[in-house]
Amino acid sequence: MKILIVDEIGFIRQSLTQKLSRYHFTTVAAESGEEALAILNSDFSVDAVLTSLFLPSMNAIDLYKAASKIERFNDEGVIPPLHFYLMVTREHGTSSPKMKELTREALAVGFKDLLVKPIDIELLVSKLQNSITEEPVEEPEPVSIAATNQIDEEPATDPKKVTKRIDGLVVVQNSLHALKKEMCESIDILLEEVSRTSSK
């Protein structure tokens, strides 16, 4: 597994590179978002990105959004998954609401997890290994021709069926709102724990 480490502090890049190499991870490092994007544009063997929240000229969220637009292919023509992990300092737990909002946004847009500096290398390795062993999403079962014909024969303007579909969409929407609220509460709890740890 190949990891891209993005941090403007050379010591952090070097330290993580050395520690991850002990667990047989291949690493490449960048000190800015621009350098990281250049690597991702040319090296499609990168599997995960470990980046600090703030980088020269852009933040981690900007990096994620730009990287998501890169067309990545391997020898089989399949786009490999690229997992992003966010590194924050303990001070983020005691910072302004804007700082917390940035952390929330990062996890909401697609960052896989949050790690607090100094990085617990065993925890990081565990998260990286788990990302490798994640099971792929199962393909949906094919719809039979008979079922397709049956669907086509059903009147699309049946009021009862339209109402039923709308009710189903409302349930899904409510579930998504509840999930988002739960995620935000979990982030707040995590940041509070970081704040308590840093104050000791």
Give SS3 for 82: coil
Retrieve residue 55's tokens: 């980088």
User: Which residues touch 84 (CB under 8 Å, ≥6 apart)?
Assistant: 48, 49, 51, 60, 64, 67, 110, 111, 112
Residue 30's nearest CA partner among 89, 46, 115 is 46
* pLDDT > 80? residue 197: no
Residue 84's nearest CA partner among 18, 21, 37 is 37
- The pLDDT tens digits of the residues spanning 40-72 come to 999 999 999 999 999 988 999 999 999 999 988
How much is the pLDDT for 152?
Answer: 47
pTM: 0.68
